[in-house]
Amino acid sequence: MKKIGILYGQERSFPEAFIKRINEKNIDGIVAEAVTIDKVMQAEPTEYAVIIDRISQDVPFYRAYLKNAALCGTAVINNPFWWSADEKFFNNALAVKLGVPVPNTVLLPSKDHPEDTTAASFSNLAFPLDWDNIFEYVGFPAFMKPFAGGGWKHVYKLEDAEDFFSKYNETGQLVMMLQEAIDFTAYFRCYCIGRKHVRVMHYEPRNPHHLRYDAHFNIPDELMKQIESFVLKLNEGLGYDFNTVEFAIRDGVPYAIDFCNPAPDADINSVGQENFDWVVETAASYAIERAQAQKPGQDNLSWGTFMSDAIKQSVGSQVKAAPQKKAVKKAPAKKAAPAKSADPKSALFSKIGEAKAADKDDLKKLKGVGPKLEKMLNEMGIYTFGQVSKMGKKEYELVDSMLTSFKGRGQRDDWAGQAKKLMK
């Protein structure tokens, strides 16, 4: 008999329904129950083939218990090793590498020194930070929130630099991140289970908590498919088998806002009956699938592509190539002179055309362009909306190759589309 356990705290509706649904399915050799812990001995297995973790983020004892259980063969959902290592700022950085749009975000050191440290502990940190560049990159309004954790604790909405410094002084020893505010026209919260099952839910974060799922936004089917694709891509990269991802839609672009929620809200009183029924059924079926695949005493954890690809690359680099037979030497062919690489500036202006400083438009009207970035573009020779309107993927890449910072912003914020509207 294989047991599926669920480890939880104060919540009741989801754990109880999850256990009930698995047992109702009456699958031969599978039973579900609440996890019971009466002792934890090193390298000793638990009685569970699978454990769904809903609480270890708040109880360090449980997290250590789950790591020991995983070492001894339990399939823990979510992977406790990765969950311990992960945080929201890294999530954003990985999303950028995966090609998923996210708000511009910077990491901030804690305002106060951590315990047992002094100013000398921060010898490598510049003082003051480059606030002008940071504020131009993020823009205002902005949100400041802890780089790890959740539950909307210590989250501030900031209107300007003065507001930022006032609130930053309140954050004590918390490591924070400053994030661009997305002025959205639609918002969605998405369950993802098993990195293959997705439920996109209309969500209004500005409503009172019990009414946040009482929302509906009209968006094209293609955008809905793109959201689903991004949900799968993020969870594949991170390796979460039970997670939620939130998206804010601005100008038709879905920005991933929050996607480090490995113990997401699943209470019937907040998510509503239909969403609750879906998450219970899908989680129960997936837990059974993992229990049937579980092999006692082996590693039954799942890992994201970020980790698995890195491990494959590391192992591959250590494998020695088989010895090769010596080839018969031939007279070396005369090498052709290498082709000269095209000058990015010439390639760019052959497409977008040239302009004079006297014809300059106010490029700061483009979302994501501040005084510093406008100056960089002008120094390249980009002065007008007409030039910007002709940019495509290749032209954005050429611009990025000549920028020292703010890379990727043109394509992300669709400068060409904005420029066309400003020209009307």
Query: Is the pLDDT assigned to residue 97 strictly greater than 90?
Result: yes
What are the structure tokens assigned to 92, written together?
Answer: 């954003």
How sure is the predictor about 363, in pLDDT bands with cuts at 50, 70 and 90?
very high
CATH 3.30.470.20 placement within the chain = 87-102+182-261
List, for residues 43-53, the tens digit of each pLDDT value.
Answer: 999 999 999 99
Sheet of 50-53: strand order equals 30-34, 2-7, 50-53, 75-77
pTM comes to 0.82
Work out the angle between the directed axes of helices 344-352 and 393-402 (0-180°, nearest 10): 140
Cβ contact 184:249 at 8 Å: yes
Cβ contact 97:309 at 8 Å: no
CATH 3.30.1490.20 placement within the chain = 104-180
- In CATH terms, is domain 87-102+182-261 a member of 3.30.450.20? no
What percent of the chain shows pLDDT beyond 70? Answer: 94
Distance spanning both ends of the chain, measured CA to CA: 70
CATH of region 2-84+296-302: 3.40.50.20
List, for residues 231-276, the tens digit of each pLDDT value.
Answer: 999 999 999 999 999 999 999 999 999 999 999 999 999 999 999 9
Taking the C-alpha atoms of residue 415 and residue 385, their distance in angstroms, rounded to an integer, is 9
CATH 3.40.50.20 placement within the chain = 2-84+296-302
Q: In this structure, which amino acid lies at residue 118? A: T
Higher confidence at residue 108 or residue 414?
108
How sure is the predictor about 85, in pLDDT bands with cuts at 50, 70 and 90?
very high
**Lowest pLDDT segment from 244-258, 322-336, 399-413:** 322-336
Give the CATH class of 104-180: alpha beta
Taking the C-alpha atoms of residue 71 and residue 335, their distance in angstroms, rounded to an integer, is 56
The overall average pLDDT reported for the chain is 92
How sure is the predictor about 321, in pLDDT bands with cuts at 50, 70 and 90?
low
